[in-house]
Structures are given as structure tokens and as C-alpha cells.
Amino acid sequence: MMPTSEQIWSQGEAQEALHSRATKIAAEQFGNAVFLRGVVEVSNFCRENCAYCGMRRDNRNLARFRADHDKLAELIIHHRPASITDINIQSGEDPVVVREVVLPLINTLRRETPLGISVCLGTLDDSLYTELKNAGAGIYIIKYEIADPALYSKMTAPGTYKERIEHIRRLSASGWKVSSGFISGLPGQTKEELLSNFALARTLPLDGCSVSPFIPGDETPLSSSPLASIDLTLNCMAALRLMKPDWVIPAVSALNLAEPGSGYRRGLRTGANLVTINMTPSDVRGDYLLYKRDRFIMTEERILNAIAAEGLKPSRQGLAAFYKTRAGSNSCAAKTIATAA
Ligand code: 5AD
């Protein structure tokens, strides 16, 4: 069911009712279990120039880095938080790091760990997608960012709108599980544009979708624009859960920038069923500039506390394993997925 504007802009009791419905649906679908994934950010080189992102190529103030395979492998194999079942390898749009670090790292991790592997690496050539999949990655995270083509190009979001959507479709058609997402509260976003994100998400072959609150990023042309409303963002997450009960919906770390201290917890109360623990080595973390230099780092302890406080539990089954057991693929998934617990 498509969300209504009454839902998206609800307040007070109507908003509470929306959020509890979303929480209940997620609990029924996933048996109170939340997926825990680690993320390593492997490069902040980026050939894109998104107006909202601090890693944009025009940001000359940023010290660019590429991670070292051996260091990361050691970290993930021997020092990862015990609760994670999956790892997401993320970077700016940097084909060099894909060849030099990501592909070897996936091979190593497949050999040495049982972790499911997601990647979030931008729009790449088909041949690289194939190599990544053959190496053992199964989930591709590629946000469509903005549903309105005019706003997409105004924000100089990655490549072109058309290309981005084509890549999402192609990835899914070639066997990837695809998770996408959009930004709420972006400067210039109209009510219609915000709603059209749901219409778009519904038509795409997705297995998951995120909502990120717009953060006026340091060192971007939008640094003095207003921060997204946390309530609007949470309402969007809840509406997404109502629209697609079986999708994997993350509580993104930016929720805590939109509402320090509690944003993340509230995400778990609006139907999110995936959380991410940041494992990027601390010496380069500050340069992975999606939002602010002063990053809010999600540690395992913070996350486990938040999950327990919401009456939820870490999923013992990994995300990659969960997708495998789910009947069929995206868009025609089984209704009840109690095995996630
Ligand atoms: N506010 C919100 N989301 C952002 N992203 C990048 N910069 C911002 C920002 N300032 C999101 C984009 C991108 C993902 C990695 O981070 O959706 O795809």
C-alpha cells in the first residue's frame, strides 16, 4: 500500500499509531530479530560530485585514502564484533580500490570467515559487478538517492538518474540482492518529490531500502542548509515498512546525527530490522566524510544495548543466509519469515 501524505506528515497520536504498526509488522515478519552487520569503509576517493556528500570530487580539503588489504583482513578475521553475521564493504566510487582491495578482500573473507558479504561501491562496469559476485559478494547496496529526475540532476547525484535506475535493475536481474534508498529532507525536496520516492521504490526489484535524513555535510555546497526533520525521516521509515513488510530496512547511523542520542533507538521503533556496526580503522574514519567530520560511531556495545532496550534480539541467521532461504527472490518473497530468529 502506498503511504498517504497524512501518514508521512503525521504528528502526535496518529504518528505514534503509525510507528507502532510498523514495529508490529517488523516483529511479526522477522520474529523480533535484527540483523547486525559490520561496515568497513575502504576508500574515500570518489569520481562523483554529489552536492550533499563530503567525499565529492570537488572537495580538495579531504585527505584521500585507500585501505590496506592485509590490515583490514586481520581486523575482520580476528577482531570483529562477535555479534555480526555480515560485512558491508563500502567506498566512494573508486574502481581502483575495487580491483586492488575489495576483490582480494572478498576472496580472503570467503576463505577465512562465514560472513555474508554486501558491497556499496557505486555504479561500476558490468564486468566488475560480475567479478564481485564471482568472488562471493551477494548483496549490492545502491541508493537511488532522489526519485525526481530534475532534483537528481540539480543535486549532481551519481551519473544520471536513468543510468542509476538501470544499474539497480541490472544488478537485480543478474542475481544480486539489491538494497536501495533515498534521502529525506533534502534541500529543494517538495512534498510530491518525497512521496514519489515510495512510488519509485515500489516499482524497483529491491530486497531492502533505507531512508537517510539529509545532513548538511561539512565541506559541501549544502553545508548551511537545514538538517532533515527526524520525525519526517522516521515516518518515512514506518511508511516503508507498511508498504513492504518483508523488506530489510536499516536504521542508518545518520539518524543519530539528526537526533543525537536517541535517533537510532527510535529507528528500531519504526520497523527497522538491520543495524550496522562501524569497523573502519579509527585513523581514517574522520576522512570518510559522508556527513560531519565529527562522526557518531556505532559500536557493538551501543547497538546491543539499543536492541535489548527495544525488546529485540540480534538475528542468529545472517542477512546473506536469510536471503538464500527466502522463497523466490525480491518482490515475490514469502510472507512469514520466522526463521530469521
Ligand atoms: N545526508 C544524507 N545522506 C547522505 N549521503 C551522503 N551524503 C549525505 C548527506 N549529506 C548518503 C547517500 C549515499 C550514502 C552512502 O550516504 O545516500 O548514497
Residues 6 or more apart whose Cβ sits within 8 Å of residue 190: none
Q: How many CA atoms are closer than 13 Å to the CA of 110, on its beta-carbon side?
A: 16
Please give the grid coordinates belonging to residue 161: 538518474
* Average pLDDT rounded to a whole number, residues 118-138: 98
Q: Which atom of ligand 1 is nearest to the CA of 90?
A: 15
- Residue 310 banded pLDDT, cuts 50, 70, 90: very high
According to CATH, the superfamily of the domain at 5-340 is Aldolase class I (3.20.20.70)
288 lines ligand 1 (CB under 6 A): no
How far does residue 155's CA lie from ligand 1's centre (Å)?
A: 12
322 lines ligand 1 (CB under 6 A): no
pLDDT for 38 beyond 50? yes
Model pTM score: 0.94
Question: Do 201 and 182 touch, CB atoms closer than 8 A?
Answer: yes
Check residue 222 and give its pLDDT.
98
Residue 117, helix vs strand vs coil: strand
The full set of domain ranges for the chain reads 5-340
